[in-house]
């Protein structure tokens, strides 16, 4: 059974800092991996999708990498801003169409 | 842009009531999902549908049923609401992820429905 772990559970950084969020998974036979952002009381917003054949994806200040062999993905946020404060979740699709989600990392960027 | 719309953002219901949560997507996605999200328990899959009239149980289907009569609409039904079903309910949709180029299988969520059962 696929298990997804996100470390740390919470992170507080000053504005402007570059930061890395980590996601690890136990079954490397994944179809894709997706990073989401969730603001309090809202749904999840898709940030980046990495297919199993890809190593990384970039969108603006966000860069996500994927290392299937080690079962790891990282989400890099450059020049963090207070508006980046949210919970970030990763999810992997192993087979069929179901995803397995991590518990998320709660990020606070302080002005 | 893909849009997944959940009919109600906030609902308050009484124990024993029948509750309908509606979800509509506008991208002709084959797959639709219902999750619930609770503090400390993360996202848990209730039911999944991969085609019209097709459904598959998720991890926590007890106390719930679903209906998918049209491709764009997926309904979650609480036959007799109980207080332990107080939660945030999230609908999502995705394409299959295989076949045509551009069919990425990316998952898109609605805004969520916060249900309180008294």
pLDDT of B107 over the 70 cut: yes
Residues 5-34 of B with CB under 8 A from A: 6, 31
Three-state DSSP at A91 gives strand
- Residue B56: its pLDDT value, please? 94
Q: Does B103 touch chain A (CB under 8 A)?
A: no
**Is the predicted pLDDT of residue B102 greater than 90, yes or no?**
no
Distance CA A101, CA B57 (A): 17
| Beta-carbon separation of B42 and A98 below 8 A | no
Residue that has been written with the tokens 């087979």 in this structure = A95
Interface contact B97-A103, CB threshold 8 A: no
Our CA-based measurement puts residue A50 at a distance from the nearest CA of chain B, in whole angstroms, of: 9
pLDDT digits (tens, 9 = 90+) for A19-59: 999 999 999 999 899 999 999 999 999 999 999 889 999 99
* Mean per-residue pLDDT of chain B: 92
What tens digit of pLDDT does each residue of B29-75 get? 999 999 999 998 999 999 999 999 999 999 999 999 999 999 999 99
| Measured CA angle at B60 (ends B75, B44), to 5 deg | 85
Q: How many CB pairs under 8 A join A and B?
A: 52
Residues of A in contact with B114 (CB under 8 A): 41
User: What pLDDT is attached to residue B40?
Assistant: 87
pLDDT of residue A101 exceeding 70, the answer is yes
- Beta-bridged to residue A97, according to DSSP, are none
Residues in contact with A49: Cβ distance below 8 Å, sequence separation at least 6, in sequence order: A32, A33, A34, A35, A57, B104, B105, B106
Taking CB atoms and an 8 Å limit, are A51 and B104 in contact across chains?
yes
Query: Which residues, numbered 12 to 71 in chain A, qualify as contacts with chain B under a Cβ-Cβ cut-off of 8 Å?
Result: 31-32, 34, 36, 41-46, 49, 51
pLDDT at residue B103, rounded to an integer = 67
- Asked if B104's CB is within 8 angstroms of A32's CB, the reply is yes
Give the model's confidence band at B83: pLDDT under 50 very low, under 70 low, under 90 confident, else very high.
very high
Q: Which of B105, B110, B68, B112 has the alpha carbon at shortest distance from B89?
A: B112
The whole-angstrom distance between B20's CA and the closest CA on chain A is: 19
């Amino acid at each position: 059974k696929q298990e997804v772990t996100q470390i740390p559970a919470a992170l507080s950084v000053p504005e402007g800092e570059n930061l890395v969020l980590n996601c690890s998974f136990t079954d490397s036979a994944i179809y894709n991996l997706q990073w989401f952002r969730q603001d309090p009381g809202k749904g999840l917003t898709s940030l980046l999708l990495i297919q199993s054949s890809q190593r990384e994806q970039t969108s603006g200040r966000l860069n996500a990498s994927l290392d299937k062999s080690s079962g790891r993905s990282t989400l890099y946020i450059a020049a963090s801003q207070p508006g980046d404060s949210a919970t970030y979740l990763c999810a992997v699709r192993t087979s069929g169409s179901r995803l397995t989600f991590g518990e998320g990392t709660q990020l606070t960027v302080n002005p | 842009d893909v849009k997944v719309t959940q009919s109600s953002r906030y609902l308050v219901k009484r124990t024993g009531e029948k509750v309908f949560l509606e979800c509509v997507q506008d991208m002709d996605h084959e797959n639709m999902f219902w999750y619930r999200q609770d503090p400390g328990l993360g996202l848990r899959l209730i039911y999944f549908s991969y085609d019209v009239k097709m459904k598959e149980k998720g991890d926590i289907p007890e106390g719930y049923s679903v209906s998918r009569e049209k491709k764009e609409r997926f309904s979650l039904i609480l036959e007799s609401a109980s207080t332990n079903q107080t939660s945030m309910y999230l609908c999502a949709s995705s394409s299959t992820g295989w076949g045509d180029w551009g069919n990425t299988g990316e998952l898109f969520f609605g805004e969520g429905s916060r249900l309180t059962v008294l």
